[in-house]
């Protein structure tokens, strides 16, 4: 079964989640990503979000920003360097709002550093809402732990685990993403992450047959996409297999982090996938961030499990 062969398939402009994915948004199921010195969600609303990345401020579309923004759009544009303007449901272009706006730059998170750049899919190379998972990884990983990061993108979770002393295997099917992640490793003063250019689920299946085991598995699979040969990938169809494979690869005491951004995968579906780990061995959460202006922004659902 393929993982998407093109970055355009990764978490691109998702449809509005159906009721099972958004659910009632109970406060006790929310986990909030925190801002840090080089990143801040400034405001959100009207289908957009205003973010600060170091010294650079961007405006990007956000389907879940369905409340009213606290600041007027004119104020946003006075602050921003770039605004992403959609030209279709999957692509768009960046509009420069300041003459000195850079097209690439870097920011820091603790001791780590990430290269950012404009892409035609509105992304910049980092998903800051994942800070909630970076905290979890930093708390759980010990030196020498074996960590497998699947659908690993530009490597933020891999770097957090490596900085904690883990032996990290980073798997992605897009060469550009591996190169980007490797550049982030170098920029962060780290080394020795194992890079694997391959279909994530196929690699995990072979690792299972080889009898390999890991102390932690991180998955950030796309909602849907196409493989190298045009095969269709839909997360809702692959979720049970992903969970079962992860369970087989984990050592006793090992953990799984599985993010979902699919409108067809809600907390109930994640809870069912968590049953592969046994009763009471998994938890489902909603991933959120709060803007400087106090607006809450929903980012998707999350499964964490232990063996």
- CATH number of the domain within which 210 lies: 3.40.50.150
Q: Predicted confidence band at 25 (pLDDT cuts at 50, 70, 90)?
A: low
The secondary element (H helix, E strand) that includes residue 226 is strand 224-226
For residue 84, the enclosing domain spans 7-306
What is the 8-class DSSP label of residue 4?
P
Cβ atoms of residues 145 and 139 within 8 Å? no
Work out the mean pLDDT of the chain and round it to a whole number.
90
β-strand 224-226 against 112-117: which pairing, if any? unpaired
Q: What is the pLDDT of residue 28?
A: 80
Per-residue pLDDT, averaged over 200-225, amounts to: 94
151: in domain: yes
Pair of tokens at residue 118: 């404009």
**CA separation for the pair 70, 126 (Å, rounded):** 25
Phi, psi of 15 (to 5 degrees): -70, 160
The secondary element (H helix, E strand) that includes residue 97 is none
Q: What is the pLDDT of residue 263?
A: 83
2: in domain: no
1: in domain: no
HSE-CB at 56 with a 13 A cutoff on CA atoms is 23
**CB count, 10 Å around CB of 85?**
12
Pair of tokens at residue 102: 């850079």
Q: What is the pLDDT of residue 280?
A: 79
* Cα–Cα distances in angstroms (integers) from residue 74 to residues 70, 81, 93, 270, in the given order: 12, 13, 19, 40
Give the model confidence (pLDDT) of 66-117 as tens digits.
999 999 999 999 999 999 999 887 789 999 999 999 999 999 999 999 999 9
206: in domain: yes
62: in domain: yes
| Structural domain total, the chain | 1
Give the model confidence (pLDDT) of 175-199 as tens digits.
999 999 999 999 999 999 999 999 9
Question: Could you tell me the maximum CA-CA distance found in the chain, to the nearest angstrom?
Answer: 58
48: in domain: yes
Q: Predicted confidence band at 14 (pLDDT cuts at 50, 70, 90)?
A: very low
pLDDT at 209 over 70: yes
Give the model confidence (pLDDT) of 38-60 as tens digits.
999 999 999 999 999 999 999 99
Model pTM score: 0.90
Cβ atoms of residues 225 and 233 within 8 Å? yes
175: in domain: yes
């Amino acid at each position: 079964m393929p993982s998407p062969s093109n970055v355009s398939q990764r978490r691109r402009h998702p449809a509005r989640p159906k009721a099972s994915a958004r659910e009632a948004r109970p406060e006790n199921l929310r986990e909030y990503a925190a801002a840090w010195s080089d990143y801040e969600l400034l405001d959100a609303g009207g289908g957009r979000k205003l973010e600060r990345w170091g010294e650079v401020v961007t405006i990007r579309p956000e389907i879940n920003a369905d409340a009213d923004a606290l600041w007027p759009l004119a104020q946003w544009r006075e602050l921003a360097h770039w605004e992403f303007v959609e030209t279709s449901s999957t692509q768009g272009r960046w509009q420069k709002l300041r003459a000195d706006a850079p097209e690439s730059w870097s920011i820091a998170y603790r001791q780590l550093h990430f290269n950012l750049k404009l892409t035609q899919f509105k992304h910049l190379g980092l998903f800051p809402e994942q800070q909630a998972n970076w905290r979890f990884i930093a708390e759980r990983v010990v030196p020498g732990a074996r960590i497998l990061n699947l659908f690993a993108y530009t490597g933020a979770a891999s770097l957090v685990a490596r900085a904690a002393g883990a032996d990290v295997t980073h798997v992605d099917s897009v060469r550009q993403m591996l190169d980007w992640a490797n550049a982030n490793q170098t920029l962060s003063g780290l080394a020795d992450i194992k890079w694997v250019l391959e279909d994530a689920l196929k690699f995990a299946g072979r690792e299972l047959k080889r009898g390999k085991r890991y102390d932690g598995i991180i998955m950030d699979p796309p909602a849907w996409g196409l493989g190298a040969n045009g095969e269709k990938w839909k997360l809702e169809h692959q979720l049970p297999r992903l969970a079962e494979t992860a369970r087989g690869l984990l050592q006793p005491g090992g953990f799984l982090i599985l993010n979902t951004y699919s409108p067809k995968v809600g907390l109930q579906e994640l809870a069912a996938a968590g049953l592969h780990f046994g009763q009471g061995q998994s938890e489902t959460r909603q991933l959120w961030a709060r803007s400087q202006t106090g607006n809450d922004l929903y980012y998707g659902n999350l499964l964490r499990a232990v063996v």
